[in-house]
Chain A
Amino acid sequence: MSAITRRSLVIAGGTVLAAPALAQNADWPSKEIRLIVSVAPGGGADLVARQVARVIAQDTGGTVVVRNIVGGSGLTGMAEMASSPPDGYTLSLVNIGSLLVLPHIMQVPFSWDDLAFLGGISQNYYGVAVAANSPWQTFGDMIATGKTRRITYACATIMNGVALVQAGNQSGARFRLVNTQTDAEAITQTVGGFVDIAMTSSTVLLPMLQSQRLKLLAVTPARWPNMPDIPTVKEAGYNGETVVPLGFACPAGVPAPIRARFEAAILKAARDPATVEMLTRTINMPKPMTGAEFRHALFSQAPTIEAMLAEAGMKRR
């Protein structure tokens, strides 16, 4: 064997490794596909994932098993997916915190480049909610107060506050994050008058809004279908938006034809009437996204969140 051939073999190494996977495409899937979900069963995201699992199974004629790997703040499940063989038998619901927040706080065993984004299903609606007896009637009232004193906002997930922080940066209003363990805790502290704002998703705000213990100053990223009169943060005059999309990813090395089939199945699941009905009932926004659109929706937020963490003194790396 000549030296040249040997070298070209080495160069071709990457392709050679992918070849068996490509050869298998014809009979893929020949075994069970794992869909990793890094939240506990029963919640909204878990139910969406199960819906997607059903559509992928129908579409490919294979079996899809949903595995709830909780723990490690979602990191365990994501790391399990990222380190799986790129053979098209593992994908996961994307845990946004482990891509946008945790890498700035601790060592995370994967990066954006290790993942192939497959598409999105929906987005959460968020609300800027204050106690019903608050003197503020509009988002602008609140911002005006924020220029004279510090305004506290409670939420269980740091990403919720992006719209507020952006509005604050533009207007000079000062905000202070109060981390709570659950969304319910953020809501009780707001109704009780201990913090100024609860910045949480529509589903958890709904009961207290219906019973008029809380009122909405603004919503994000779009108007809620059940409360069409409340303007978005942007409509209120501030360029702020909290975008938390729900979508899926697999290891980057998965052969393109298999990725394409996942992508098609996810878009199909996103448009499936059963999915849309479930999302509508829980007041989530159906938002079918391709893999590229989903990645962009996440990646474009990275600088804002990094700045927020730095501002709060939480950024370590």
Chain B
Amino acid sequence: MEQLLHGFAVVMTPANLFFCLVGTLLGTIVGIIPGLGPLTTIAILLPVTYKLDVTSALIMLSGIYYGVAYGGTATSVLLRIPGEASSVVTCIDGYAMARKGRAGAALTIAAVGSFVAGTVGTIGISYLSPPLAELVFAFGPAEYAALMLAGLAAVTYFSSGSLLKSLLMAAFGLVLGCVGKDPMTLEPRLTFGLTGLLDGIELPALAIGLFGLSEILLLARRSQSSLKMIAPPRSLLGFLPNREETRRSVAPVARGTVLGFLVGVLPGGGAVIASFLSYALEKKFAKQPEEFGRGAVEGLAGPETANNAASSGSLLPLLCMGLPANATTAVLLNAFILHGVAPGPAMMTQQPEIFWGLIASMYVGNVMLLVLNLPLIGLMIRILDVPRAYLGPIILLFCMIGVYSSVGDASGVLIAVVFGFVGYYLRQHGFNLGMLILAFVLGPILERSVRQALNISDGEFGVFVASPISITLLCLAAAILLLGLWPRRPVVNTEDD
């Protein structure tokens, strides 16, 4: 506690507060623009920070990282275009809420949920670091394989409407996840000889294609009047959620925070998986699951909280063990080392002012993000006033720039365009695209883990039931699958189109 207070003393200098503000502001902006992610931004700014004080530099770069999770919501809710891959799930119920005139409420709930997740996540890093970091080392390939199976079993909760159609989409997602080099032998699979497909289909390209571009195609085919977007109230605080919405978001925010944080701590987990699992969890807990897909508050509050909690969570292995959980935290690790700081237990004892200064800056930064984002909501919902004829091309432009900058290759843009048409077709026929993305994300991790485990055990399948963790997870997977399939609720078509 004393150390944390010392950390606050480090942050409360004008320079450090300024760099915290710059970082979080940049993060928000980058998060709002579809496809443009934290990775590119941090990489571009890295050389600029050489001349800065170490603590200031790290405060700013980390601010970009956790700030992004706030910004990603806006376009998902207002335009049904995911600002970040971790906001894909928000496109479903967030956008449905916007069409009912509750865009402001949706964005406020997301912002407050993000704030809770960010702050609780930071508390988690401050006080639970040593035991939670050990969790990372308890997960070997076999445990990951079991965890991914449990995640895939959760797809049965997603299915709305026809179970067959949902499973078809999951299968399609798994096939798409196989594209690219074989994880063990590096042999190209399903690449059709195209170099651009060698590293597989990139998630931003797929998500923006399936959700963003297909939406633009649907817009183009609709008449202005048939869209039925109800503008939110224009009064000063009219964008705030009402009492009913607030009440319904409390429990999902709490569950999303815990779930997201834990998923984030595990390497390879991350914000995308956390948001999907939270959605599945909320649907299972909901009193009216049939409302999911038609603007259920829980379906927005849970995932939007979980993705923020996951980005805080993935800072834990980085700060406490020097282990990056994803590509963005890998660039952050490089930034730390360039500034002469090797994150890990050694940093906590030898450079406590940097470690605790950074932690304290995350508390401050989350408050800044909330204060920045709430007034922005009133401004952003005005996007809905722009005639769709003008909005469409602008969104298209941002999607293309975003995909190009996050994939770094023109082939990514082509992939997004192709999946724009695929997504359009699938949505016209009532297929569940969320299922596809979840299977696409989980499949490759499952495959790699299974093959690594068998490689280590020399082909012995006993490795999958060798530890209590993997046995527990496998039982959980079986339970989820049975529970998901058993008491089928009356089938209600909850597709939003």
**A residues within 8 Å of B by Cβ?**
40-44, 46-47, 50, 68-73, 75-76, 79, 101-102, 105-107, 109, 150, 152, 158, 176-182, 184-185, 187-189, 191-195, 203-204, 206-208, 210-211, 213, 278, 281-282, 312-314, 316
Contacts and interface: CB of A to CB of B under 8 A. Distances in A.
Given A177-B455, A207-B323, 6 more contacts: A42-B331, A69-B408, A71-B412, A179-B452, A207-B344, A312-B185
B324 A184 contact: yes
Interface of B: 39-40, 42-44, 46-47, 136-141, 181, 183-188, 193, 195-196, 198-199, 267-268, 321-325, 327, 330-331, 333-335, 337-338, 340, 342-346, 407-409, 411-412, 448, 452, 455-456, 458
Nearest to A76: B195
A314 B187 contact: yes
Contact of B46 (A47, A70, A79, A158): A47
A71 B42 CA distance: 19
B143 to A, nearest CB: 9
A211 B320 CA distance: 10
A43 B187 contact: no
A181 B324 CA distance: 12
B196 A72 contact: yes
B40 A41 contact: yes
A210 B348 CA distance: 12
Nearest to B323: A184
Contact of A76 (B321, B343, B409): B409
A86 to B, nearest CB: 21
A205 to B, nearest CB: 9
Contact of A207 (B140, B187, B327, B346): B346
Nearest to A39: B408
B257 to A, nearest CB: 24
A188 B452 CA distance: 14
A316 B182 CA distance: 13
B338 A192 contact: no
Contacts of A282: 334, 337-338
Given A152-B456, A178-B456, A316-B187, A71 B47 contact: no
A179 B343 CA distance: 25
5 contacts: A41-B40, A72-B198, A102-B186, A206-B342, A210-B322
A158 B193 CA distance: 22
B330 A71 contact: no
A89 B319 CA distance: 42
Contacts of B183: 179, 181
A182 B95 CA distance: 36
Contact of A71 (B198, B322, B342): B198
Given A40-B43, A71-B409, A184 B325 contact: yes
Nearest to B324: A184
Contacts of B199: 70-73
